[in-house]
Structure 1
Amino acid sequence: MGEKILFIRDVAEKLGRTEAQLRWMLHQGTAPKSAVIGGRRCWRESDVDAFIDAAFAEAAS
């Protein structure tokens, strides 16, 4: 596999948000793509990086 899996604390830190803010983003549908595996919400690091890249691309246009 090789893809790094991140959990809510990791993603919140990477986005500069609190865990509560990230949960709200999930509720609003504005968070990076994620999945529930083994009862835990998780993200692929590449999806989080793509989310950040897209935000910068949108800001530049």
Structure 2
Amino acid sequence: STIANIVRKLEENGALAHTVVVAATASESAAMQYISAYSGCTMGEYFMDRGEDALIVYD
């Protein structure tokens, strides 16, 4: 899958240790798709509040 390819590429380049991946594909329930965006945002805010860098990408 595309998500697995992205995770593999992050791992190959040593970036996965600094990455949180939250994903909900089209085959997931509507509730899971809805909540995944908020979950990712919450994780980004956690790191931001600790003074760390955070980048959130939605697609």
Shared fold, TM over 0.5: no
Length-normalised TM-score, structure 2 = 0.37
Q: Relative to total residues, which structure has the larger strand share, 1 or 2?
A: 1
Length-normalised TM-score, structure 1 = 0.36
Higher RCO, 1 vs 2 (CA within 8 Å, ≥6 residues apart): 1
